[in-house]
Structure 1
Amino acid sequence: MVDGEHTALRFKRDGQWREMSYSELEDEVAQVAGGLVAQGIRPGDRVAVLGQTSPEWTICDLAIDRIGAVCVPIYPTSSRQEREWVLSDSGARMLITPPDDLPRGEPVAPVPRGEDEPSTIIYTSGTTDPAKGCLLTSGNLRAARESLDSLISTGVGDVVYLYLPLAHLFARMTQMMTLTRGATLAYFGGDIREIVTELTEVKPTHLPSVPRLFEKVYAKVTAFTEGMDRERVHSLVRAAFGGRLREALTGAAPIAPEILEFFAACGVPVYEAYGMTESTAVISANAPGAVRFGSVGRPLPGVEVHIAEDGEVLAKGRNVFQGYHRDDTASREALHDGWLHTGDLGALDDDGYLYITGRKKDLIITSGGKNISPANLENDLRRSRWISHAVMHGDRMPYAVALITLDAEEILPWAKENGLPEDIVELARHPRVLGMVGEVVTEANSAYSPPERIRRFAVLGHDFSQESGELTPTMKLRRKVVHDRYSALFTALYGGNLRS
């Protein structure tokens, strides 16, 4: 039982950090649950939540669960069309938009929920297809929590810093594990540019993240500490994360082994994990004492992993979802005899560590018959401080080409220092920038066989974004959108009339 006086939530208001105890959180949740009941919400009803990561989002989530209703999260970056689709398809009875005023009423007691009763419907932001609603039961969530028990060591006195969107299951599982163990959940202040500053203020012991944060820190540190004493570098890195970080967990996208090795050497262990919404966010993970860089770890307790004949990763366990909401065809494609077909390609080594090698749908087969998994080389390119995104193309073509976007936070200050135009469009075609990018491509290419290498590339005068539809809310590339939108540019890369 958690002491009610312990700090449950820490958050910023008007530039100041504030706290909410576990007893205060319980009171808030009970009142909001009462407000939902007063407005006619009953067990099994769908309630949508749309808002930035905040204490109010957590309170809504816990209140919805308390009365046996079903939480339907919506990403705040979703388009109007995407929001309307989720509300319509889920059959939501109510939409709550925290941190706006939450419904309040007389406190109500928790409503018991059966193992097979739906707890949440999460719409996956597909990289190629329209969003599908993953229906997760109370039993799925419980199984996932049990699987994570051996991985996550949070407890009373620990602080978990959360900047990921709570519409993403990775963030909600973090929320669940933090609060069931009596630790403190600290929310970012709402400005993604302030994350590094807030890490030094919050001094977290645990940090869930996507790879981009670690990639950017790695790129900055390696660029500006050349020649510095190694222990001094390690000390600076530890300080950048607040000085108390014991464990960081990364997932949702691949991360280069060299980056993980670097942070481990600095005393900031970053454990790569693997899962998806359909598996309630858990399949495998590296863990303290069981790390193999380049892998996504061993299957977590309660989860079985099998590699199909075509190389697809299959997973089975009580954590695997029951199917997509109102989409039997997609459900049958995803589930066979209890096995979840992840769509990822991978391999297991002799010690049971899982390696993800690409996505089945993303596989490039050149006209020469060479199979290329683009994510590996794309990820290597993104390790450069100058590159934000890279997208390869080459299906049924003689060789691979790529579109590359620049990291404005890095390239613009460099341009100013070097007397170049402080305009991303002009920089994208400037000979010095093209030369720098070319050097990065050449270096990355050297790790691959000739048929797998990028032969030509173009640099775009803008970055990809969620708003323009090229990225999902979790910053994954919508490859089909990019290929369709820039088809003429890809074609030009094969025509010999474009500098690269």
Structure 2
Amino acid sequence: MTTDIGLPQTVAALPAVAARRYGDRPAQRHLAGGVWQDVSYAELREISTEIGLGLVALGVAPGDRVCVLADTRAEWVQVEFGIALAGAVTVPIYPSSSADECEWVLGDSGAVVVVCENAALQAKVESVRDRLPALREVVLIDGEENTLAELRARAGDRDDLERRATAVVPDEPALIIYTSGTTGRPKGCVLTHRNLTECCRVCDAMGVMDASDVVYLFLPLAHVFAQVISLGSAGMGAVVAYCSDGAAAIMPDLAALSPTLLPSVPRIFEKVYATVSGLVPAEMRAKAVAAGMAVRQLERAGQPVPDELAAGYAQADAALFTKVRAVFGGAIRQAISGAAPIAPEIIEFFHAAGVPVNEGYGLSESTAMGTLNTLDAVRIGSIGRAVPDCDVRIAEDGEILMRGPHIFAGYWQNPGATAETLVDGWLQTGDLGTIDDDGYVTITGRKKDIIITAGGKNLSPGNVENDLRLSPWISQAVMHGDRRPYPVALITLDAEAVGPWAQGEGLPADIPTLAAHPAVRALVQQVVDEVNAHYATVAQIKRFAILDHDLSIETGELTPTLKVKRRVVEQQYAGLLDGLYD
């Protein structure tokens, strides 16, 4: 089932539509045996068909849930399409999840099959399998038994699989994304085929990507942002190049692949900014950014760049901006930052450098869609304007509300939570914001994160935390102060920046020692003082503690997209926070 412009209305239809439109053009690019190899759209359809036939042979019925427990890789998407062709529902699990977390998602969704990347991830499932009565089969992408290759080799009735795929309707569940959550058990966001294929129409209408793009994807496919990029790329005919080996491979991959589109989370841009912005003195950097922003504004308006400005920009480009573009492979047409707020200063810097980072906004419950800045319509500091067919309004209490074809069907087997989140068709986002006369939306805070001091002052911690993270010395900052007399902060050090600095100062390079060293504390204090100068006294950080380690996904302090789990951190370091008020 497709629309009049040839875009699919179900994920099950997407492989066939893409194969028909793009044929032998590359759909996937992955590193194998040290060589980057391509999978064409025609090959992707065939592989997905074989996986679908294998799942049917395993007894997977229409509507059954099939979990995928793997890192971002080409096979992840191949399996997802195979699940859709069989009429089943994909349920992602983050590979960083504990065995207990795996048990919750597998058990709550009632999954009958789980596809694991390797034996290490399979072991998590096996350790809790006796408590998962619905789970019948475990398939390994990389393994020696019960492998994905064996699944693909199973014979099956292709006509029957085609009937299954054709029988899928837009409003049936296609994907259940379990929210990471800061408290309580994760809830399963039920995203329909209509929700997911809406991203193809949005990408088409807004020019997010096209068939000429090379999209570099390192984001976890268990996160809805990566899902939208993946499916949108298939709809538009772009090639998706997958991260070859975890976070450490991102920069080498970018150099090797020269992608044109980079979807990312703010932390990646923050770290690159902290590294490259120090290549020139602060005063020179400020002039370079001012010149670059002026040039970009004239270019967008189609106006000529005056000779004097062009000469100033050429100097900045040679001294700094060419190095910035080189970090990303030299061919970036657009980068999209999502999943968490990003400081306007960072966006300005990259726009000036010719690496336009455009901020967007969405939730799992809105299929990662909502608002987006674009190459032709950008207002730095905002999260952009509403995407096509999305209505955005501000409630009386300042909350951002959304509705449209991208809004989820509800939480899996949780009608109470669904009723609280979907009110008269409007998604209650939990974020606070404003909309200006041109339709640009700006987030001012999050309802649950609002700090109300003992003096009754309402503070939004996000801006202060973002400003602190602009420093190359600081990795994470968590502001605290709810029902307290003043704000304080927990700060972690960026080992990549502080380590070399410490060696230059003749200090030990290990983070636990540096976290307690007076010289490092003075370094951080200077950053805090500079940030405080931009805020009213009531919002200033009065005291801080430096942790002897960074926050991490493994400890449960960060989500898989590197957002801080504020409540978890506050509970884990409650004693340390109490000490800041002694």
- Given that 2:492 and 2:546 are in contact with CA atoms closer than 8 Å, whether structure 1 keeps it comes out as yes
- Given that 2:214 and 2:238 are in contact with CA atoms closer than 8 Å, whether structure 1 keeps it comes out as yes
Residue 146 of structure 1: how far off its partner (Å): 2.0
CA distance in 1, matches of 2:489, 2:382: 26
Residue 14 of structure 1: how far off its partner (Å): 3.2
Counterpart selection for 1:146 from 164, 183, 201: 201
Matched, 1:344 2:393: no
Matched, 1:13 2:32: yes
Match of 2:354 in 1: 267
- Given that 2:204 and 2:236 are in contact with CA atoms closer than 8 Å, whether structure 1 keeps it comes out as no
CA distance in 2, matches of 1:485, 1:245: 40
Match of 1:48 in 2: 67
Match of 1:22 in 2: 41
Matched, 1:305 2:392: yes
Partner of 1:454, secondary structure, is coil
Q: Deviations over 1:79-130 (max 9, x none)?
A: 1111100000000010001332312223634412112211111100012332
Residue 449 of structure 1: how far off its partner (Å): 0.6
Residue 157 of structure 1: how far off its partner (Å): 3.0
Matched, 1:231 2:250: no
CA distance in 2, matches of 1:6, 1:163: 22
Partner of 2:226, secondary structure, is helix
The one-letter amino acid of 1:231's match is D
Spell out the pairing of 1:386-401 with structure 2 (5 A cutoff): 386-401=473-488
CA distance in 1, matches of 2:387, 2:265: 19
- Given that 1:148 and 1:300 are in contact with CA atoms closer than 8 Å, whether structure 2 keeps it comes out as no
Residue 379 of structure 1: how far off its partner (Å): 1.0
Residue 225 of structure 1: how far off its partner (Å): 2.9
CA distance in 2, matches of 1:225, 1:37: 59
Match of 2:216 in 1: 161
Q: Deviations over 1:213-236 (max 9, x none)?
A: 111111111112335841121111
Q: Deviations over 1:159-207 (max 9, x none)?
A: 1000001111111111111112221110011231121111111011111
Partner of 2:359, secondary structure, is strand
The one-letter amino acid of 1:469's match is G
Spell out the pairing of 1:26-175 with structure 2 (5 A cutoff): 26-98=45-117, 99-100=141-142, 101-102=147-148, 103-104=151-152, 105-106=154-155, 108=158, 109-110=161-162, 111-112=165-166, 113-175=168-230
Match of 1:277 in 2: 364
- Given that 1:343 and 1:359 are in contact with CA atoms closer than 8 Å, whether structure 2 keeps it comes out as yes
Counterpart selection for 2:256 from 201, 215, 240: 201
Partner of 2:188, secondary structure, is strand
Matched, 1:369 2:456: yes
- Given that 1:78 and 1:473 are in contact with CA atoms closer than 8 Å, whether structure 2 keeps it comes out as no
Matched, 1:384 2:471: yes
Match of 2:519 in 1: 432
Partner of 2:400, secondary structure, is strand
More helix per residue: 1 or 2? 2
Spell out the pairing of 1:171-186 with structure 2 (5 A cutoff): 171-186=226-241
Residue 306 of structure 1: how far off its partner (Å): 1.0
CA distance in 1, matches of 2:497, 2:83: 42
CA distance in 2, matches of 1:275, 1:214: 19
Residue 432 of structure 1: how far off its partner (Å): 1.1
CA distance in 2, matches of 1:152, 1:403: 41
Output the TM-score relative to the length of structure 2. Answer: 0.83
CA distance in 2, matches of 1:189, 1:142: 27
The runs of 5 or more residues in structure 2 that have no matched partner are 1-19, 118-140, 286-314
Residue 453 of structure 1: how far off its partner (Å): 0.6
CA distance in 2, matches of 1:168, 1:257: 24
Match of 2:489 in 1: 402
CA distance in 2, matches of 1:148, 1:399: 45
Compared with structure 1, are the counterparts of its residues 297 and 317 closer, same or farther at alpha carbon in structure 2 (3 Å cutoff)?
same
- Given that 2:199 and 2:232 are in contact with CA atoms closer than 8 Å, whether structure 1 keeps it comes out as no
Q: Which moved more, 1:236-245 or 1:296-305?
A: 236-245
Q: Which moved more, 1:212-221 or 1:19-28?
A: 19-28
Match of 1:498 in 2: none
Match of 2:126 in 1: none
- Given that 2:338 and 2:360 are in contact with CA atoms closer than 8 Å, whether structure 1 keeps it comes out as yes
Counterpart selection for 2:544 from 457, 468, 475: 457
CA distance in 1, matches of 2:82, 2:423: 35
Matched, 1:475 2:562: yes
CA distance in 1, matches of 2:351, 2:509: 36
Match of 2:311 in 1: none
Residue 20 of structure 1: how far off its partner (Å): 1.5
The one-letter amino acid of 2:172's match is E
Match of 2:375 in 1: 288
Q: Deviations over 1:358-393 (max 9, x none)?
A: 111111001111100011101111111111111111
Output the TM-score relative to the length of structure 1. Answer: 0.97
CA distance in 1, matches of 2:56, 2:515: 55
Q: Deviations over 1:226-257 (max 9, x none)?
A: 35841121111112111111011110011111
Residue 295 of structure 1: how far off its partner (Å): 0.3
The one-letter amino acid of 1:230's match is A
Partner of 2:437, secondary structure, is coil
Cα RMSD over matched residues?
Answer: 1.3
CA distance in 2, matches of 1:385, 1:194: 21
Partner of 1:85, secondary structure, is helix
The structure whose Rg is larger is: 2
Match of 1:252 in 2: 339
Partner of 2:206, secondary structure, is coil
The runs of 5 or more residues in structure 1 that have no matched partner are 496-500
Residue 49 of structure 1: how far off its partner (Å): 0.2
Q: Deviations over 1:269-320 (max 9, x none)?
A: 1110000010011010101221111100011111111111111111011111
Partner of 1:2, secondary structure, is helix
CA distance in 2, matches of 1:32, 1:200: 33
CA distance in 1, matches of 2:337, 2:182: 20
Aligned residues: 495
Residue 417 of structure 1: how far off its partner (Å): 2.8
The one-letter amino acid of 2:449's match is D
Spell out the pairing of 1:479-494 with structure 2 (5 A cutoff): 479-494=566-581
Q: Which moved more, 1:3-12 or 1:56-65?
A: 3-12
CA distance in 2, matches of 1:293, 1:164: 23
